[in-house]
Amino acid sequence: MRQTILTVILEVQPASTERLAELIRDLRARLESTSNGVEEYAVLRDRVPALHFLSMSIFRDVHYDPVLTLEANFDGPAGPFWAQFEAALGDELREMVRCCKPPTDDTRGLYDAVTKRGSTRALAPLFEAKTVRPAVSHMGNRGRSRDQIIAEGELFEATRSELRQRDPNIPNPYRPLSAAGIHQRLRAALLPTHPWLAEPAPVRIDLAEGAADWIRFGAFLFLVLLCLSLPGLVLAPTGTSGRVFLVLLIATPAVAFQLYRLRTPLIGQDAPKLARAILTRRRVVFQPVRTVAIMAFVLVVLVGYTYLAALVVAPAVSLLGGHGFGEAYGFALKATWLGLLSVPLSVGIILLWVRWLEYRDPSHDAPPVNERRMRAMARREDRLPQNHMGSMVLVKPGLLRAVLIRVGLWGLGLFLRILPASRNGYLANMRTIHFAHWALVSNGGRLLFFSNYDGTWESYLDDFIEKANEGLTLAWTNGVGFPPTRFLVQDGASHGRRFKAWARHSMAVTLLWYSAYKHYTVNQIERHARIANGLRRPTLTPKEADEWARDL
């Protein structure tokens, strides 16, 4: 099952900000109402069956007018979701849109049509037009539909009820059984009430989706290598390959030496000792098999890139030089190899430029904290096993930063989708995130982050700091005021206290938040799935049954 993450961004009329916030709070109160036996958020649960998580927030910033964000995580394509969502909450949503600023682009006609008095025009086209797709996203239970998660959770509760000792005076019939015997008896008891156990488990990530992930990542690597190879490719037609090679042989070590000199943190800006110790312990573990596999993968990528790039360049060489394709391909192949030799120099120059900027970047060690907003956030946090976080920060200016943030986020997002751990619910070795994503908004001027996660806010960020520090720093290093960073990925988020203060300052109060399975953690969902998949099978071997029974 494919899942979709998106966010609708609408600028708010400053004078209508409080009115909009009140409308969202009123909607939340109605959805949370439990009168007449109606459960909380029953409207969304029953009428929007694809929806996993939903949030509404208003971000206020002295540099911009307020913006309304509507974040949604759901199954399948956007079209059916918007139709269901509008059918459930159309009147309330229309009033909220009326508090927003009329667009100045070609969506102005849509806005006028849906906001005029008495309008019944569909809101979905406007929402789709104002949708921002994530630059980086992570799904903790990727490939598991909302209905599947709920059904497997109900099955888990049924197994607990079936295994429970109902009468202390009667021996529990499951106690003397082996794991395989428990599986057989439990399956027979639950199959009548859960007939879907007779069906095979849904495919989590099908072959087409997995292949598409690898193709996109491969295309990204190809484009990056092609861009970094440009110095060699441009100089190759000059017929001075020997001189170019000599220049590269001298310049590359010189740039590497300068990078080595700049490797140390800025004075007084070193990462805390605890964070350094954690990161050091992680890095000293040497895994020969993994290292050889990575080196082999890199070699295959470089060789594959060389021949593919030559195949792409050859037609242009043939056309411009009037050569046959074979001769042009041979020349393109040599040019591509020369281009590859220039990649280390290109990377080194970019890193020197980055380091020069990092030496001059201001940071925000103690951003002002709005106590009223902090109290409002605290009231919404830690009421359930799950929590929600929304953050928006300014992006540092400059051409290099504009390119790096887009390339970095794009590459990070594609890389996460091919990682085996990420495909099985982990981010690095974390399993506390249901859905999370970064997106560039305000014409690339701001970076938006949303996360639906398990546990407290403090423990969530501690997990990131300790287990996914480099990825977090890469994603946020271009945020204004972010703690000092080295070479895009070092330090940064490992300045734990300063990073948390910066993150809190960038957050907005979540005015409305919905979870379709609010009492389930990511780990619990995976546990429920393992139990269900075991019960779907008519028989298990003794070894499989023992492993399956550990989750009961």
Residue 515 within any structural domain of the chain: no
- From residue 352, give the alpha-carbon distance in Å to each of 349, 396, 478: 5, 17, 16
Model pLDDT, residue 424: 75
Residue 82 within any structural domain of the chain: yes
- Sign of the Cα torsion 470, 473, 478, 482 reads negative
Residue 78 token pair: 């956007």
- Gyration radius of the chain over CA positions: 27
Say whether both 63 and 150 belong to one domain.
no
Residue 337 neighbours by CB under 8 Å, 6+ apart: 306
How far is residue 211's CA from residue 189's CA, in Å, rounded to a whole number? 40
Residue 168 within any structural domain of the chain: yes
Residue 109 CB neighbours (<10 A): 10
Provide the pLDDT confidence category of residue 240 given band limits of 50, 70 and 90.
low
Residue 66 within any structural domain of the chain: yes
Residue (of 354, 353, 349) closest to 254 by Cα position: 349
Say whether both 167 and 311 belong to one domain.
no
- The CATH number given to whatever domain includes residue 77 is 3.30.70.100
Domains in the chain, number: 3
Residue pair 7/448 in contact (Cβ under 8 Å)? The answer is: yes
Residue pair 317/532 in contact (Cβ under 8 Å)? The answer is: no
Residue 425 within any structural domain of the chain: no
Residue pair 233/448 in contact (Cβ under 8 Å)? The answer is: no
How far is residue 120's CA from residue 94's CA, in Å, rounded to a whole number? 9
Residue 235 within any structural domain of the chain: yes
Q: pLDDT tens digits for 137-153?
A: 988 888 899 999 999 99
Say whether both 309 and 349 belong to one domain.
yes
Provide the pLDDT confidence category of residue 35 given band limits of 50, 70 and 90.
low
Residue 97 within any structural domain of the chain: yes
Say whether both 103 and 194 belong to one domain.
no
Q: Among 336, 360, 384, where does a domain finish?
A: 360
How far is residue 259's CA from residue 269's CA, in Å, rounded to a whole number? 18
Say whether both 294 and 228 belong to one domain.
yes
Residue 465 neighbours by CB under 8 Å, 6+ apart: 275, 472, 493, 494, 496, 499
Model pLDDT, residue 287: 63
Say whether both 195 and 214 belong to one domain.
no
How far is residue 512's CA from residue 32's CA, in Å, rounded to a whole number? 10
Say whether both 95 and 213 belong to one domain.
no
Model pLDDT, residue 463: 79
Q: Is the pLDDT of residue 253 over 80?
A: yes
Say whether both 190 and 113 belong to one domain.
no
Q: pLDDT tens digits for 133-192?
A: 898 898 888 889 999 999 999 999 999 988 887 777 777 888 888 889 899 999 999 999
Q: Mean pLDDT throughout 23-27?
A: 93
Q: Is the pLDDT of residue 267 over 90?
A: no
Say whether both 19 and 86 belong to one domain.
yes
Following CA atoms 113, 81, 416, 312 in sequence, which dihedral angle do they give, to the nearest 10 degrees?
-60
Which residue range(s) make up the domain with 96? 1-133
How far is residue 345's CA from residue 340's CA, in Å, rounded to a whole number? 10
Residue 74 within any structural domain of the chain: yes
Q: Is the pLDDT of residue 48 over 90?
A: yes
Instruction: Tell me 398's DSSP state.
Output: S
Say whether both 179 and 231 belong to one domain.
no
- From residue 280, give the alpha-carbon distance in Å to each of 274, 276, 531: 10, 6, 37
Q: What SS3 class is residue 70?
A: strand
Q: 438 - beta bridge partners?
A: 136, 449
Q: Is the pLDDT of residue 90 over 60?
A: yes
- Per this entry, what is the length of the chain? 552
Q: Which amino acid appears at position 38 of this protein?
A: V
Q: Which amino acid appears at position 180 of this protein?
A: A
Say whether both 161 and 190 belong to one domain.
yes
Burial class of residue 232 (count of CB atoms within 10 Å of its CB; 0-12, 13-18, 19+): buried
Residue 476 CB neighbours (<10 A): 23
How far is residue 367's CA from residue 27's CA, in Å, rounded to a whole number? 32
Say whether both 55 and 152 belong to one domain.
no
Q: pLDDT tens digits for 447-491?
A: 999 999 888 888 888 877 877 778 888 888 888 988 888 888 888
Q: Among 360, 392, 410, where does a domain finish?
A: 360
